[in-house]
Structure 1
Amino acid sequence: MKISAGILLFKRSEEQLFYFLVHPGGPFWKNKDLGAWSIPKGEAAEGESLLERAKIEFLEETGKSVDGNFIELMPITQKAGKKVFAWALEQDLETSGLSSNMITISWPPKSGKTMEIREIDRWEWFSSEEAMQKINPAQAGFIVQLEEILSSE
């Protein structure tokens, strides 16, 4: 089973929560919006520290590093079977000036041709309601968990 690790960045503004989500780059995702956004995350190697992997992926996908008091969330399993571990972190992040690493993909699929794309092509803050619509449906569980944790503080 593939395992990924990521960070759910959030901030509070006027009693409202906002979530930082990323949109995958490349032709497959170009016109997809609802359900296509994700927390910054990436695949972890066996035995690797998942929180360290999550921080590395955040840096690769945004060009910015984050650190602080991480809140560990319960892992979720995405539709394709990938298990995703995540940590929430309260921190503001300016979205202008972010940059993503480049990756090589096979395109069109199974064509034997490859192309280089930005792994992430957009970064945005969304209100809780918007984020629930934009995020990969399985990852919405992270937002639900975090809001339950924060409401019990």
Structure 2
Amino acid sequence: MTHKRSAGLLLFRRTGEGSDPGVEVLLGHMGGPLWAGRDAGGWAIPKGEYEPDETPRDAARREFTEEIGLPPPEGEYLPLGDVRLAGGKLVTIWAVEADLDPALMVPGTFSMQWPPHSGTVQEFPELDRVAWFAPAMAEIKLMPSQVPFLERLLALLKG
């Protein structure tokens, strides 16, 4: 059995001056009714699944555009490695230093039956909003399985 694979981009921007290399990361809040009431643990790195005929980096760039509706940033792609989720999915993330105005986001959508068993299919945004967070807040907001990517980025930036 082949496990699903997912790839994405963690955008970061520097906010500090001099000895304070402050940084913020861009996270997306999971869209749809199942996540509507969740804040802590309800945010994610923009990412998505890909097939074997696509490279993880190409998939990360494509998924960024699909979920945020903007072209992926150019610049140096810093590999943050992989995390295998409890369900077996392998997630690969790159960090890219870039700025982005959350107001420009045009979210991609998915369809699901809602309410359950109603026979009614509705469209929902994959991410209903994006926002910049300092690391301490990002750690609270992020889905726990994705926190290692944040920790790896911070370690990388500290040198």
Query: Shorter-chain TM-score: what band?
Result: over 0.9
User: Structure 1, residues 25-78: CA drift from partner, whole Å, max 9, x if none?
Assistant: 111010011111100000011231111111111111111112210001110123
Distance apart, 1:110 and its partner CA = 5.9
Gaps of 5+ in 2: none
Give 1:64's match in structure 2, choosing from 59, 70, 77.
Answer: 70
User: Structure 1, residues 67-120: CA drift from partner, whole Å, max 9, x if none?
Assistant: 210001110123333211000001111111211112112334566542111111
CA distance in 1, matches of 2:116, 2:95: 34
SS of 1:58 mapped into structure 2: helix
Percent pairwise identity:
38
What is the correspondence of 1:1-153 to structure 2 with a 5 Å cutoff? 1-14=3-16, 15-65=21-71, 66-109=73-116, 113-152=120-159
Give the alignment's Cα RMSD to 1 decimal.
1.4
CA distance in 2, matches of 1:120, 1:38: 9
CA distance in 2, matches of 1:115, 1:101: 14
CA distance in 2, matches of 1:8, 1:151: 17
Equivalent position amino acid for 1:27 in 2: P
TM-score computed with the length of structure 2 as normaliser: 0.89
Count, aligned residues? 152
Identify the range of structure 1 (112-121 vs 26-35) with the bigger mean alpha-carbon deviation. Answer: 112-121
8 Å CA contact 1:78, 1:139 repeated in 2: no
1:79/1:97 Cα in 2 relative to 1: closer, same or farther (>3 Å)? same
Equivalent position amino acid for 2:101 in 1: E
8 Å CA contact 1:132, 1:143 repeated in 2: yes
CA distance in 2, matches of 1:53, 1:90: 18
SS of 1:150 mapped into structure 2: helix
Equivalent position amino acid for 1:20 in 2: L
Gaps of 5+ in 1: none
Structure index of larger Rg: 2
